[in-house]
Amino acid sequence: MMSELFASPFFGIALSIVAFLIGVQIRKRTGLEICNPLLIAIVLVSALLLLCRIPYEDYNQGGAVINMFLAPATACLAVSIYTRIQLLKENWLPILAGCTAGSLTSMGSIYGLCRLFRLDEVITASMLPKSVTTPIAIAVSQSLGGVQAVTVVAVLVTGISGSIFAPFLVRLFRVKDPVAAGLAIGACSHAIGTSKALELGETEGAMSGLAIGVCGILTVIVSLFFVG
């Protein structure tokens, strides 16, 4: 009976939602940046699966359903971008240059570190698209022969790290321009970072959402030159 329950897609969906809501409440009560709702949800779900010995494949029946909404959810960020269309027209060149620099820096640093630590081509291909949103990262990783699971973990770690440290880094480097702040967050920590950028301001959120799309396209193009 329990095994049938765990294998149901509704179990994975319900568990994910409940774990995330718990994370949201903890974040509200503590006010700490480290208490990222997604990070807390991952810890809670992982702990429950391990304690109850629930196969990941069973949980992922519902997780796969949630994954289907990743691409549409990312596309919805276009709404905030449209509200700042005039700002986009006025700053298209700095935006393009900033996204290009962000993509090249992200992929170049990963490629260099993988070579420094003598990691194989498979791991390199899996890590290269870590700074773009999950649907694009998985597609790039698969086309280069990477491992999807490694890519997903790299994307999650990158996004959560960006969401936690972005406000601190913006203050540390005294970034006053909301366009620059938003582009930096979106270029390095994709949709998860964009959720934090939206908390900083509507312009930051719009520019971060724009960076997701632009950096995604650039990553697809540039990745072809890294792994042969």
pLDDT digits (tens, 9 = 90+) for 169-219: 888 988 889 999 999 998 988 888 888 888 888 889 889 988 988 999 999
Could you tell me if 32 and 84 lie in one domain? Answer: no
The verdict on 163 and 103 lying in the same domain is yes
The Cα angle at residue 208 between residues 204 and 214, in degrees rounded to 5: 145
pLDDT at 199: 85
Would residue 205 count as lying in a domain?
yes
In tens, the pLDDT along 119-133 reads: 988 999 999 999 888
Are 26 and 113 found together in one domain? no
Mean pLDDT of the region 154-160? 91
* Mean pLDDT, residues 147-168: 89
The pLDDT-based confidence of 39 (bands split at 50, 70, 90) is confident
Residue 162, pLDDT > 80, answer: yes
- Do 211 and 101 belong to one domain? yes
Residue 145 and residue 219 in one domain? yes
Q: What is the pLDDT of residue 99?
A: 92
C-alpha to C-alpha distance for 128 and 104, rounded to whole angstroms: 10
Kindly state whether residue 215 falls inside one of the protein's structural domains.
yes
pLDDT of residue 4: 67
Q: Is residue 73 part of a domain?
A: no
pLDDT higher than 60, residue 227: no
Whether residues 87 and 11 share a domain: the answer is no
Q: Which residues, at least 6 apart from 132, have a Cβ–Cβ distance to it below 8 Å?
A: 140, 155, 190, 212, 215, 216, 219
Q: Single out the residue in 37, 68, 99 at which a domain terminates.
A: 68
55 and 119 part of one domain: no
d(C-alpha 178, C-alpha 202), whole Å: 9
Last residue of a domain, one of 34, 50, 68: 68
Q: Looking at the domain assignment, is residue 228 inside a domain? A: no
Show the domain range for 19: 2-68
Is pLDDT at 63 greater than 80 in this prediction? no
Taking a C-beta distance cutoff of 8 angstroms, is the pair 193, 210 a contact? no
Q: What is the pTM of this model?
A: 0.80
Residue of higher predicted confidence among 68 and 19: 19
Residue 91 forms part of a structural domain? yes
Judgement on whether residues 28 and 140 belong to the same structural domain of the protein: no
Distance CA 210, CA 223 (A): 20
Number of domains in the chain: 2
Q: What is the mean pLDDT of the chain?
A: 86
Q: 92 and 64, same structural domain?
A: no
In terms of domains, do 160 and 202 share one? Answer: yes
Q: Do 28 and 89 share a domain, yes or no? A: no
Could you write out the DSSP letters of every residue in the chain? -HHHHHHSHHHHHHHHHHHHHHHHHHHHHH--TT--HHHHHHHHHHHHHHHTT--HHHHHHHHHHHHTTHHHHHHTTHHHHHTTHHHHHHTHHHHHHHHHHHHHHHHHHHHHHHHHTT--HHHHHHHTTTTS-HHHHHHHHHHTT--HHHHHHHHHHHHHHHHHHHHHHHHHTT---HHHHHHHHHHHHHHHHHHHHHHH-HHHHHHHHHHHHHHHHHHHHHHTTT--
Average pLDDT over residues 40-57: 89
Q: Rounded to an integer, what distance in angstroms lies between the CA atom of residue 209 and that of residue 196?
A: 11
Decide which of 68, 90, 118 is a domain's last residue. 68
Do the domain assignments include residue 165?
A: yes
Same domain, 192 and 116: yes
Note the pLDDT of residue 72: 75
The region of weakest confidence among 37-46, 58-67, 134-143 is 58-67
- Cα four-point dihedral sign 102, 107, 108, 112: positive
pLDDT, greater one: 72 or 205: 205
